[in-house]
Structure 1
Amino acid sequence: MTHPIKLYRTPKSGHCHRVELMLAFLDLPYATIDLDMASGEHKSPEFLKISPFGLVPAIDDGGYTLADSNAILVYLVQTYAKGTHWMPQAPKDAAEVQRWLTVAADNIYAGPCAARLVKVFGTGHDHAAAVAKAHDLFRIIEAHLADRDWLATDAITIADVAGYSYIAHAPEGGVDLAPYPNIRAWLKRIEAQPNFVAMATSPIPELA
């Protein structure tokens, strides 16, 4: 690969971070392009050609553009690491990965992601409901990880990458991870992977 992949992002977005994490884990050259979301740069005509819904993250890989974080994870692995543990091909394993990608897009978004959006970005989500959903989810994941190291298979996959960012940063949204030792151990296993890159952090807000 002779060109860096362009990653359009906002630095404190977990959706963007999961893509950057995957790029780093695969040791792919990439360049980050930070959009000024407050000024509406993500809705500019130029960016809408890359991401028609005006959402980050988006990538430009040598002229091929793609938005949606989970779709980008699939693309990167299928293009640059096909046949590896990151995205297994066996039907049952592939189905387990897909199941956790759906959890990332649904339960994680509605729970720890939404709670963090309120505290870090001041959005109008129902914070109490988001925290409750986060704990409901974390109790399920905590039990799931009681006798296994990874979410989908016996090796790290894109399912773990998709789940990591918002769970790791749940405390920024007022969701305590202390009751979940299995989850905290899982986070440490991801952070111990070669080339791990951390997401930009925000001070944990004081809770009302």
Structure 2
Amino acid sequence: MNSRFSSTAAPVRLFRNPKSGHCHRVELMLALLDIPYETVDLDMANGAHKAAEFLKISPFGQVPAIEDNGVFLSDSNAILVYLTHRYDAECRFMPSDALAAAEVQRWLSVAAGEIASGPCAARLVTVFGAPFDHEQTIARAHALFSVMELHLEQQQYLAGDHITLADIAGYSYIAHAPEGGVSLSPYPNIRAWVARVEALPDFVGMAPSPILA
């Protein structure tokens, strides 16, 4: 269990696997919002995520999950939305304008769809030994990145010219796509976007994961 901030208030507890990009996107959001938090690393290899006590927090037995002063919540995108509405008084990460909010939601859907089935799934093969068709997941990642590369020619961030939840939800698996065998070399606009996210004050990274032999 590690704490990034010191505070007299009860910190948010983040239940996680430190190799998970879904968990990292929540940790990144906590850091950027300057929310005191502590991490609780689950021994998932021995089934800690399926234990009865954890299933009360996360009924599907998945990470990440959080506890925030008696509020329990799972699903990374749901947690991002909660943290923003709860703590982002200036609406920096989730705009109130209808069209701008819809643009953010579109990329949250991409995070749960094309990112999950592309660069995320490719990395699951190499880092966790998931039984997916690796070549197919790599192809899906490149199809997504081709669209993103053109999109980022027109703007600095995924949903406009300032950072939003769209970028937080997308960053982790895209930045770590090479761990899944997906090179970012052909995509200069994506690499520039990754660098912009990493240059944010209070940015916290996800440690590189060893690739299975």
Q: State the TM-score, normalized to the length of structure 2.
A: 0.94
DSSP 3-state at the match of 1:65: strand
DSSP 3-state at the match of 2:153: helix
How far 1:154 moved relative to its partner? 1.9
**Would the alpha carbon gap of residues 106 and 28 (structure 1) be closer, same or farther in structure 2, given more than 3 Å must change?**
same
Q: How many residues in Structure 1 have an aligned counterpart in Structure 2?
A: 206
- What is the match of residue 27 of structure 1? 34
Q: Does 1:58 align with 2:65?
A: yes
How far 1:3 moved relative to its partner? 1.2
The answer to whether the 8 A contact 1:9-1:58 is kept is: yes
The answer to whether the 8 A contact 1:11-1:199 is kept is: yes
- What is the match of residue 165 of structure 2? 158
* CA distance in 1: counterparts of 2:90 and 2:96, whole angstroms: 7
- What is the match of residue 98 of structure 1? 105
* CA distance in 2: counterparts of 1:65 and 1:154, whole angstroms: 33
How far 1:17 moved relative to its partner? 0.1
Whichever residue aligns with residue 136 of structure 1, its letter is A
DSSP 3-state at the match of 1:86: coil
Q: 2:127 aligns with which of 117, 120, 133?
A: 120
How far 1:16 moved relative to its partner? 0.1
* CA distance in 2: counterparts of 1:120 and 1:161, whole angstroms: 22
The answer to whether the 8 A contact 1:83-1:89 is kept is: no
The answer to whether the 8 A contact 2:129-2:212 is kept is: no
Gapped runs of 5+ residues in structure 1?
A: none
How far 1:204 moved relative to its partner? 4.9
- What is the match of residue 11 of structure 1? 18
Q: In the TM superposition, what are the counterparts of 1:167-186 in structure 2 within 5 Å?
A: 167-186=174-193
Aligned-pair identity in percent equals: 64
How far 1:153 moved relative to its partner? 2.0
The answer to whether the 8 A contact 1:172-1:205 is kept is: no
Q: State the TM-score, normalized to the length of structure 1.
A: 0.97
Q: Deviations over 1:69-102 (max 9, x none)?
A: 0000000010000342200010000000000000
- Cα RMSD after superposing both structures: 1.1
How far 1:123 moved relative to its partner? 0.7
Q: 2:89 aligns with which of 82, 87, 94?
A: 82
- What is the match of residue 200 of structure 2? 193
